């Protein structure tokens, strides 16, 4: 009897390891296809809510969790001048930079929507059963580089329109660093784009956690099926 039982256990384990078995519905009725659709639904909802939140007035500037600092030399100068009560121009630059990030969130929402639709999720079951932000981490790993490239042009326009570069040129001229304007302009664009996406992913992860934990946040049948 014991040998017969051992053989059954061995055969079951062998079947579970085969690709054909992996494609069958799981005991709870969840398939890889279900899981993939559920993850995409969750990420679509999460990215929409995250970008809407950050697009609000002071969505970045008014929130210390996602507020964008000044990069490198500009940030160091701001802190040094701040101790002497002379950092007002750089403080204004930082505020304008954050408002520029807020203004590009509608474009970011469209980019995230396209990215979510187009990602291929090979290990969807593992993501569903993973940590509270495992889908967000997968999205970030799969799309961040392309999203950065696509968001940079609208961020550049927003920074220009906000007056950030005008403030920066004036501040650099006052301290005799006009020659660094071009390099620092490029640094501000790159840094603000990266940090704007950091803010998006921060709140996408927060929204994903809410969907996983709160049944009322599962607003579609597939979300209820996958995360219920």
| Long-range contacts from 127-130, C-beta under 8 angstroms, 24+ separation | 127/35, 127/39, 128/30, 128/35, 128/38, 128/39, 128/226, 128/227
* Token reading at 120: 């291929």
Phi and psi at 150, nearest 5°, equal: -75, -30
- How far apart, in whole angstroms, are the C-alpha atoms of residue 206 and residue 200? 10
What lies within 8 Å, CB to CB, of 146 at 6+ separation is 115
Domain locations along the chain: 26-227
Do 98 and 67 meet the contact criterion of CB atoms below 8 Å apart? Answer: yes
- How far apart, in whole angstroms, are the C-alpha atoms of residue 111 and residue 144? 11
Q: How confident is the model at residue 28 (pLDDT cuts 50, 70, 90)?
A: low
- CA 184 → CA 76, 167, 195, 225, distances in Å? 13, 12, 16, 50
Q: How far is CA 31 from the centre of its chain?
A: 27
Question: pLDDT tens-digit profile of 66-114?
Answer: 999 999 999 999 999 999 999 999 999 999 999 999 999 999 999 999 9
For residue 3, pLDDT over 60 is answered with: no
Question: pLDDT tens-digit profile of 130-180?
Answer: 889 999 999 999 999 999 999 999 999 999 999 999 999 998 888 788 899
Report the C-alpha dihedral over residues 107, 111, 116, 119, rounded to 10 degrees: 180
- How far apart, in whole angstroms, are the C-alpha atoms of residue 163 and residue 203? 27
């Amino acid at each position: 009897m014991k040998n017969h039982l051992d053989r059954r256990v061995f055969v079951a384990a062998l079947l579970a390891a085969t690709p054909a078995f992996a494609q069958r519905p799981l005991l709870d009725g969840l398939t890889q296809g279900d899981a993939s659709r559920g993850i995409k639904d969750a990420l679509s909802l999460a990215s929409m809510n995250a970008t809407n939140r950050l697009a609000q007035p002071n969505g970045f500037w008014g929130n210390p969790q996602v507020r964008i600092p000044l990069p490198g030399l500009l940030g160091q100068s701001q802190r040094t001048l701040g101790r002497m009560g002379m950092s007002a121009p750089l403080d204004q630059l930082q505020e304008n930079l954050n408002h520029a990030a807020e203004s590009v969130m509608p474009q970011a929402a469209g980019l995230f929507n396209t990215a979510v639709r187009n990602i291929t999720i090979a290990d969807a079951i593992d993501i569903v059963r993973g940590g509270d932000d495992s889908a967000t981490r997968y999205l970030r790993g799969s799309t961040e580089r392309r999203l950065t490239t696509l968001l940079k042009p609208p961020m550049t326009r927003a920074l220009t329109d906000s007056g950030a570069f005008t403030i920066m040129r004036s501040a650099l001229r006052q301290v005799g660093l006009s020659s660094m304007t071009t390099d620092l302009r490029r640094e501000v664009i790159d840094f603000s784009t990266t940090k704007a996406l950091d803010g998006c992913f921060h709140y996408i992860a927060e929204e994903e956690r809410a969907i996983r934990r709160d049944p009322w946040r599962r607003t579609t049948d597939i979300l209820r099926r996958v995360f219920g």
